[in-house]
């Protein structure tokens, strides 16, 4: 998931540098990506040299052929190789799945984008400065609702202490709504995970079925995805082969945080997938396999994110974001969650790339802690930019 503010949850950074070995995948089928060309391997190796425990980069061509590279280790204790297309937590890339389900309900006439949240969740969305009749479903999808961010109240706490805590969507929503609105509905874009917790509840209220089931039946099954799912309540591990995800503890140590209850992330960021399957999903979205043209057009109607300094030309649609790369406009959705960092994009020619690192940037940051809390340092910003730059390089080079 993304954090608001991103740097408010930083504790102590890792001071020791780590050295790892690189490897590439072997299988050569559409479901199991081919061995990567040297350029992808080189990108993965450079990211590991920066201090990330492991890296996976999968590039899928317009015809669906996937190739992948890995570097580093899946387990710092054993130095096991990173699995070529292992399962990872995809954080906020989950939002695109939630958005697709919502837009399919729009197609079916069960949900209206410009109706208020009060219509679908009467009496639930309320709080200081929050007008549920003024907040629309579209504003939830596009992060223009003004709803407060719940993660600032939750994950600022020590992640390892919270790893076994189950939080229902209503618990998370109540945590958010204990804070005032950040602005009147519709005033501007500001990324807020709370929007997608509310959307998950709306989907379950309309369908009268669990969100995990809706994602499975509407997306996973039609696309024949084998390793993509929203964890069941109480599920703390990953089901398939996977690299471990690492996070920084309060003592400044990098520790395994793979086994953790992701319920707090819910519809906003709790999903698991593989880089190859995430490429398959994103390509299917943009190629119109999951949505009718009218709903896909709504999804891709983006508004400025307002961050021209760091992301010039970037827009946010309905659960999907665009970025301007050297080869043109690419669509996808980033995802950060303790243990894993995912970046993905689909270029104009249909080439898709997903890159996953097994730690967040601030977990490997080695700058002074007091400087971090004063604001993002240039070094930390550079760590965040590394993955975005690597994504563009993987998309644009043969």
Catalytic residue list contains 92 = yes
Cα–Cα nearest to 245, from 163, 80, 360, 362: 360
CA dist 90 and 110 (Å) reads 28
Sequential DSSP letters for 286-305:
HTTSSS-HHHHHHHT--EE-
Nearby residues of 221 by Cβ (< 8 Å), 6 or more positions away: none
Sequential DSSP letters for 45-60:
HHHHHTT-SEEEEEEE
Q: Which helix (H) or strand (E) holds 201?
A: helix 194-207
DSSP class of residue 212 equals H
Chain centroid to CA 37:
26
Burial class of residue 390, CB neighbours in 10 A (0-12, 13-18, 19+): buried
CA dist 145 and 141 (Å) reads 9
End-to-end CA, the chain: 30
Cα–Cα nearest to 111, from 195, 186, 207, 189: 207
Contact 213, 190 (CB under 8 A): no
Cα–Cα nearest to 218, from 87, 110, 332: 110
Cα–Cα nearest to 125, from 199, 49, 38: 199
Per annotation, catalytic residue among 92, 94, 116, 273: 92
For residue 323, list its beta bridge partners: 330
Query: Which residues are catalytic, by number?
Result: 92
């Amino acid at each position: 998931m993304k954090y608001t503010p991103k740097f408010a949850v930083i504790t102590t950074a890792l001071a020791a540098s780590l050295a790892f070995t690189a490897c590439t995948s072997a299988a050569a089928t559409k479901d199991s990506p081919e061995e990567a060309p040297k350029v992808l391997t080189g990108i993965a190796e450079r990211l590991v040299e920066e201090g990330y425990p492991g890296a996976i980069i999968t590039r899928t061509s317009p015809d669906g052929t996937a190739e992948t590279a890995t570097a580093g280790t899946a387990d710092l204790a054993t130095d096991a190789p990173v699995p070529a297309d292992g399962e990872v937590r995809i954080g906020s890339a989950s939002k695109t799945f939630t958005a697709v389900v919502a837009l399919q309900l729009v197609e079916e006439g069960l949900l209206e984008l410009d109706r208020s949240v009060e219509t679908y969740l009467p009496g639930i969305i309320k709080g200081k400065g929050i007008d549920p009749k003024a907040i629309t479903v579209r504003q939830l999808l596009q992060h223009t609702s003004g709803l407060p961010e719940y993660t600032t109240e939750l994950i600022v706490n020590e992640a390892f202490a919270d790893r076994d805590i189950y939080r229902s969507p209503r618990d998370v929503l109540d945590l958010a709504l204990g804070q005032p609105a950040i602005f009147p509905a519709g005033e501007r874009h500001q990324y807020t995970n709370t929007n997608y917790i509310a959307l998950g509840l709306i989907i379950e209220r309309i369908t009268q079925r669990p969100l995990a089931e809706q994602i499975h039946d509407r997306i996973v099954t039609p696309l024949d995805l084998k390793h993509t799912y929203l964890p069941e309540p109480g599920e703390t591990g990953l089901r398939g082969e996977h690299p471990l995800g690492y996070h920084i503890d309060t003592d400044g140590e990098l520790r395994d945080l793979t086994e953790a209850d992701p319920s707090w992330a819910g519809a906003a960021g709790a999903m698991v997938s593989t880089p190859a399957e995430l490429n398959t999903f994103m390509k299917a979205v943009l190629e119109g396999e999951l949505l009718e043209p009218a709903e896909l057009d709504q999804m891709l109607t983006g508004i400025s994110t307002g961050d021209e300094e760091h992301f010039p030309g970037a827009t946010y649609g309905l659960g999907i974001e665009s970025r301007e790369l050297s080869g043109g406009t690419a669509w996808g959705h980033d995802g950060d969650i303790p243990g894993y960092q995912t970046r993905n994009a689909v270029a104009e020619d249909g080439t898709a790339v997903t890159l996953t690192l097994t730690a967040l940037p601030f977990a490997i940051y080695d700058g002074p802690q007091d400087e971090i809390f004063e604001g993002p340092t240039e070094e930390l910003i550079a760590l965040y930019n590394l993955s975005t730059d690597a994504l563009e390089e993987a998309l644009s080079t043969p």
